[in-house]
Amino acid sequence: MPKLLAPLIALIGLTFIAATHTMAASAPDTAILDTHWKLVSVRGVAAEVGRREAHLVFKPGGGLAGSTGCNNLAAVYALDGEQIAFGPIVTTRMYCQEAARTERALLKGLRDVSRWVVDGNRLELLTDAGVTIAVLEKSEG
């Protein structure tokens, strides 16, 4: 039971943060909301095919949900125009050899993301210096 306690506390904390940190998304901000964004690449390397599709969904109000291709993930995020910041990311803890590289690169890379750009069906998550961390495409999910 103690192994389950820490992730449960983290999820409760994230839920509390998301509920108390409601953001008013401006019109440009809404371009990424409530869309299933399939992960195409991380730092220029194609996403590995895992047990499930690696993806992100930005929920209105600051909640992020998704999958690394192996593990589910959740976090909070804040938008300000094209600027974005992520809070701590919580994941399940399964091991999937086939998606391990993509998972590590994505989780590490999201810490460096500070802005986003949507071009048609493509979402790019970028650093301040303009380095592309992740490329995602709209998907039916």
The CATH code of the domain that includes 86 is: 2.40.128.270
State which residues form the domain around 112. 2-139
Query: How confident is the model over 79-90, as pLDDT tens digits?
Result: 999 999 999 999
pLDDT exceeds cutoff 50 at 69: yes
Number of structural domains in the chain: 1
- What is the predicted pLDDT for the residue at 30? 76
To the nearest whole percent, how much of the chain has pLDDT over 70?
79
Mean pLDDT of the chain: 85
**DSSP readout, the chain?**
-HHHHHHHHHHHHHHHHHHHS-----TGGGGGBT-EEEEEEETTEEPPP-SS--EEEEETTTEEEEE-SSSEEEEEEEEETTEEEE---EE-----GGGHHHHHHHHHHHTT--EEEEETTEEEEE-TT--EEEEEEEE--
Instruction: Indicate whether this model's pTM tops 0.75.
Output: yes
Say yes or no to pLDDT of 99 above 90: yes
Q: Give mean pLDDT, residues 68-72.
A: 96
